[in-house]
Amino acid sequence: MAEADLTAGCPFRETLTTAAAQSPSADVVPTLPIGEAWDMGTAADGTPLFDPRVFDSAEFFRNPYPYYRILRDHYPVYFDQLHNTYYVTRFDDVTACYFDDEGFNTIPKGSSSGVLGNTQLELSGVEHRRRRNLYGQHLVGQNLKKRVPSINRLARSMIDAWDDIEDPNTIIDANGSRTVELGRAFANEFPIRVVCEVLGFPAEAQDRFYYWYNSMMSGLGGSAAQKQGLQARQDLEDYVSSLVAERRRTPTFLHDEDGNQIGKDIITKLCETRIDGDLLSAEEVTSNIALIVAAGGETTRGAIMNLWYLLLTHPDQLADVRADDALWDAAFHETLRHSSPIGGQPRHNSHDIEMHGVTIPAGSLIQMVDFSANHDERVFADPETFNIHRPDLYSGKLLRSGYRKDGRSSHMAFGVGPHLCPGAWISHQEAVEGSRILMQRLRNPRIAMERMARDIDGETLRPMGTSGVRELWITYDRT
């Protein structure tokens, strides 16, 4: 391909060589007030330039949205030569790409299958639909409602157990109040234990399952922990193999809060599933289990942490939710629009594609930036403001087709189209139901400011940035 094509869409191309010697390196990109971007210079026509080394800077992770705004406004399809990656940042373009299952085919090969196994994440077309339907039917509609008793029971059980925890890194009691770190006390483990129970894992295996999950998540992306992740994946498959044989003989069931059977658990249903007349293998069952947990675990953890942080730092909206339980859905969706735990989805394109005058060669790595799409001023007014009452956000039932009607649009935190996040529905359910239980149990909750991480000024709370809230200390009254 011609050199002109390689540099097309790269706003840094005009000064790439000289700037390499003159501009600050990524580790000294200046720290600025939230919402302000580093001035990287301008082109001859006055267009702001963009230095791709910003992507590697601590400042970008702390303060990303002004940089995404530059890309949306001036370089909606941006070719980052430094990382050999294309970025698509506008809401409408990201939406169109997600629905173009032929042009923007799949996530990059090998990015998940090593640890999670042979899942449908890296498939497309007919085979993708077949794989997705294996478990998708268990995560929507009435099957989803059958999970509510398990969610409520586990949430109450975990909060009750706080009385027995004496870990100062998790819980502190003093003078009629209690301070908890919400991640370690609840959010990190809650979604995994819920999924584990609904899948149908025996209670005695749940601690091991939590370890397998953490190891597999740590091992994604070819990190140094990949060996441990692969071993955890094999241990999970070995365990599931014996479980599959047992469930094919003796199915097991979910129960309501009174102990009545309300339907078979997901493992039992997968063991009974046939494709072209053949039962699923133990490996196929394991891969579906791994994907269900992976899809719902980290997203739900992040959603709960970010949701409570945002509500606690907007006490008027916290009071609104407390007064009107129906607002939890709106609070959940606005949290994912404002501060999604998932930044976007990578894609490879199956043929040359031109967008906004930029040619993307077949086989390129493309990042669909959900963070940016969710903050696109063309769709959401005043996007940096958290507002559970915003009139332009759709907060109804999650739709694979998305929603764009009557001035309202769905957020992009789960994507849309054929590859909509498979854990979207369970993440929504667990975060909302778990938060309802927390709200019932926590009297006068407030952030324990003295224990929270600070921004560079040493005074204000550390910005959420691209990483969200990793620790959230909450104080509430016990008496």
Please report, for the chain, the start and end positions of each structural domain, with discontinuous segments joined by +: 84-477
For residue 174, the Cα-to-chain-centroid distance in whole angstroms is: 35
pLDDT at 298: 72
The CATH code belonging to domain 84-477 is 1.10.630.10
pLDDT at 435: 97
CA-CA distance, 207 to 230, in Å (whole number)? 18
What's the pTM value of the predicted model, to 2 decimals? 0.85
Q: Per-residue pLDDT for the chain (479 aa), expressed as one digit of tens each?
A: 333 333 333 333 333 333 333 444 556 789 999 999 999 999 999 999 999 999 999 999 999 999 999 999 999 999 999 999 999 999 999 999 999 888 887 665 544 455 555 555 555 554 555 555 555 555 555 666 777 888 898 899 999 999 999 999 999 999 899 999 999 999 998 988 888 877 888 877 777 877 877 777 776 655 567 778 778 777 877 888 888 888 888 888 887 777 788 878 888 888 887 777 778 777 777 777 776 666 667 788 999 999 999 999 999 999 999 999 999 999 999 999 999 888 888 888 989 999 999 999 999 999 999 999 999 999 999 999 999 999 999 999 888 889 999 999 999 998 888 778 777 888 888 999 999 999 999 999 999 999 999 999 899 999 999 989 999 999 999 87
